[in-house]
Amino acid sequence: MTVGHICPDAQDDITNRAYARVGLLGNPSDGYFGKCISVSVQNFFAEVTLTPNQQIFSSRVTIEPGPSDSTVFESLDTLAARTAKNGYYGGARLLRALCLKFHEHCVKNEYKLSERGFTLEYDSNIPTQAGLSGSSAIIVAGLKCLMQYYSVYIPLEEQPALVLSCEHDLGINAGLQDRVIQCYEGVVYMDFSDEEMVRTQGKGVYTRLPESCLPSLHIVYDDNPSDSGKVHADVKQRWERGDEDVRSKMSRVAELAERGYRVLSSLGTDKQTGEPTIELGMLMNANFNLRKEMFGAEALGARNVEMIDTARGAGSFAKFTGSGGAAVVLCATKSEEERAAMYADCEAKGFKVCPLVVNPGKPSGRAA
């Protein structure tokens, strides 16, 4: 029987953050037993606070509505504008799903939990509908709070699957990549090619890269997205049917991540510049081009395609950070002129631009 874990008597609030992520290479092949490289981004984060009930015998659990959970609006225009920007659902449902899955995990592993309740509340500055993994960030931050509150240890390699199960319960179509990088942080190369491991154990093989391997990167995003590829693309169904074109291109996307891993490894160890950096940029461009071929420009959304084209127009390399709404950009040279031109062109089109600040990961190593 598992040793019981009891909530500490401390009255202090527990606050944890989980950071946005950028898919540098390989996405969306991670959802098709492929490979990818992801980066934890310090610029944007979700924050969850757990407040223990002041009455220690109270078992009440409260989930406070957050900035995207409002049910009262100043006008119909306000309702329409906020819904168009943030969608129909906020973060409270994510935390509720987390509490359910966390409870199931503790019951399964025979953890004895304190009956003292708590209040959960969240906030986030991660741009909505921007492909920066704002939803999973709320769950990861909440999971950190629950583990700390109840002194429950969940191995790091098991945490992404638990987070993903919360989203699947809510009907959110997602893969492991985002949850892995938000739990591990730093820069991680992920190999999901062992289909049996992914299906039965809920994990792939993860290799950390030093943050120093990354050249200067930038994030371009639309703070008020008007479209995010709402036209349905049947790529998943075609892949499952064994469509040779989709299978071939998805495999090529995965190979880009594998090649990128080798490039970044050389950048991290030899401090090389120039040609390896250009090669990384070319891999990023190829990644987006293959996505566009598979899904089609209409499915990606005109505004999203314009974002990529604008960044590239200044001579830079660019691809989506996720499924659309934001791009990760690598300038072809270190010249201030190129960087300034890219910023000016993107801002002139109404996009926001900022340098990517890497959120450092935990000690380097490999987890299977």
CB 37 within 8 A of CB 25: yes
Q: Cβ-count burial of 57 within 10 angstroms (0-12 exposed, 13-18 middle, 19+ buried)?
A: exposed
Helix axes 134-150, 176-184, angle to 10 degrees: 50
**Looking at the DSSP assignment, which residues form a beta bridge with residue 15?**
49
The CB density around residue 88, as the number of other CB atoms within 10 Å, is 6
* Partners of 188 in the β-ladder: 38, 208
| CB neighbours of residue 357 within 10 Å | 13
- 178 classed as catalytic: yes
Angle between helices 275-295 and 302-313 (to 10 degrees): 160
Task: Answer for the pair 65, 138: CB distance below 8 angstroms, yes or no.
Answer: no
Cα–Cα distance, 237 to 254 (Å, whole number): 19
Type and span of the H or E element at 111: none
Q: How far apart, in whole angstroms, are the C-alpha atoms of residue 252 and residue 246?
A: 10
In this structure, the number of other CB atoms found within 10 A of the CB of residue 52 comes to 21
Q: How far apart are CA 66 and CA 355, in angstroms?
A: 28
In whole angstroms, give the CA distance from residue 147 to residue 130: 29
Buried b (16+ CB within 10 A) or exposed e, 204-231: bbbbbbbbebbeebbbbbbeebebbbee
Query: How far is 250 from 244, CA to CA, in rounded Å?
Result: 10
Q: How many residues are listed for the chain in this entry?
A: 368
Name the residue among 99, 194, 214, 198 with its Cα closest to residue 157.
198
User: Per the residue annotation, which of 178, 191, 222, 345 is the catalytic one?
Assistant: 178
Which residues belong to the active site? 178
